[in-house]
Structure 1
Amino acid sequence: MPMPVRNQLVVDHLHIVGAATAQVVSRITHVSRDDLASAGAYALVRAAERFDASLGVPFGAFARGRINWALMDELRAMDWAPREVRSRAKRTTKVRDALTASLGRRPTVDEIAQTMGVDPAAVREGLADAERMLTSLDAPDIGEIVWTGYLPDELVIASERDELLNVAVDALPERKRYIIRAVYFQDRTVKEIADELGVSHAAVSQQRAEAVRMLRDALDRHYAEGPRAAGTTTARSSASVLDAYFERITTSGQRIARATIGRPVGV
């Protein structure tokens, strides 16, 4: 990508870094806003360097994922608490929450200590650690910390597109699927992949390019209005290979749709 184009992408999407950083800082104390912003900005630049418009994914959506993961990695690096401190804090808060539920009120330090069979001083230390400690990054809801940047209607569209793209990637032939995930999901270079697979740089590049064409055809076919005319695919694979690929996508999509029938909203 030409440097001026890359720089413009970065400038146009800096607001994503700012908003995501503000969201994290508003939820978690004792973190450095500047360090988080620097990590997010670096991820944005890397995203601009790696972005491939031919995939059909908007740059904003592509960059958000990388920025979110960069912020979470930075939070992990900032987490001062040793494992034993975290374990003590979790045990203490778990007992406190259980007693709160059973008593219908906030338990005293002595009540928590008696339940745990420890000295009240240990309970006070555990509660103090819990107050200072960063939100656990192993929690299932860690993604809620980072701002997504979507309006409600945009979120529905983005969610559908992301789900379709994941299905399309999973349906790729094995070698192409491996290369796409390595390049676009794991941020690995073509040279690294070529060395691992024991093939030439050109061979990996060709496989990547064909996989991208197949993904673009899959997205085009899904969003096309009316029946898609034969012979309009951009992929160079044989008709039988493409037909089998599109069939795998259709089957996977139907399976996902069946699994979501009757699922409560937001689950």
Structure 2
Amino acid sequence: MKKTVAKKDREKFKLGKVDKKTRDELIIEYAPLIKYIAGKLALKLPPNVSVDDLISAGVMGLIDAINKFDPAKNIQFKTYAEFRIRGAMLDELRSLDWVPRSIRKKTAELEKAYAKLEKELGRPAEDEEVAKELGLSLDEFYRLLEETKGATFIDIETIRRKMPDLNEEDIFDLIADPEQEDPFETIQFGELKDVLAEAIESLPEKERLVVALYYYEDLTMREIGEIMGYTESRISQLHTKAMMRLRAHLANVLDPNEWS
């Protein structure tokens, strides 16, 4: 299947620049992917963020992918397009500055508490320990998780900002693997791969399961809740804590002296 797709991509992009007819066909073909990515991002965002704005940005990302795709990189166009579409949507979100300053501050405080405690303890911090570090009751701590949930999703763009030396060309050179069905399923980011693998492995079991089901099995929070026997709100809470721990782990690795 991979070889067939790669051959199709080479045919469409063999002249280096696609014609208008092929461009229109690609936009129609990948429109469902744009809507899917926008819908999934929107689930993590407040209702004031317009899905239509994300879709519009995604279309521009797709056009950018069509213009810049190089079949010589040995990467499927769908993989490259998804990367560009998602990046364009994230750029749109950053331009909208959709996270209020107050939430951004609370997210930073929460991340700092996790980073400090988990460095000191050498294990995942318990809810009670994080709440105490922040001077909050458990109820207040859980309300804080709810408030900050929209600002805690991790994606390729977030990782790239954490690893400034890893540029776009590095990423696509690293993920190209003709022996694999989908390059993103076996991303080889060198040090980054090891850091993330270690961070995910160190998560508490329930949080690790939520991350696996959400990011690898592509299930919704509701579907994960049905599998684990929890409410959607509880799954969202576990996801937020997992993301905070991952951010904290990255922060400790990239700047180990910050929380000393």
TM-score when scaled to structure 1? 0.40
Structure number with the bigger relative contact order (C-alpha 8 A, sep ≥ 6) is 2
Decide which structure has the larger Cα Rg and report it.
1
TM-score when scaled to structure 2? 0.41
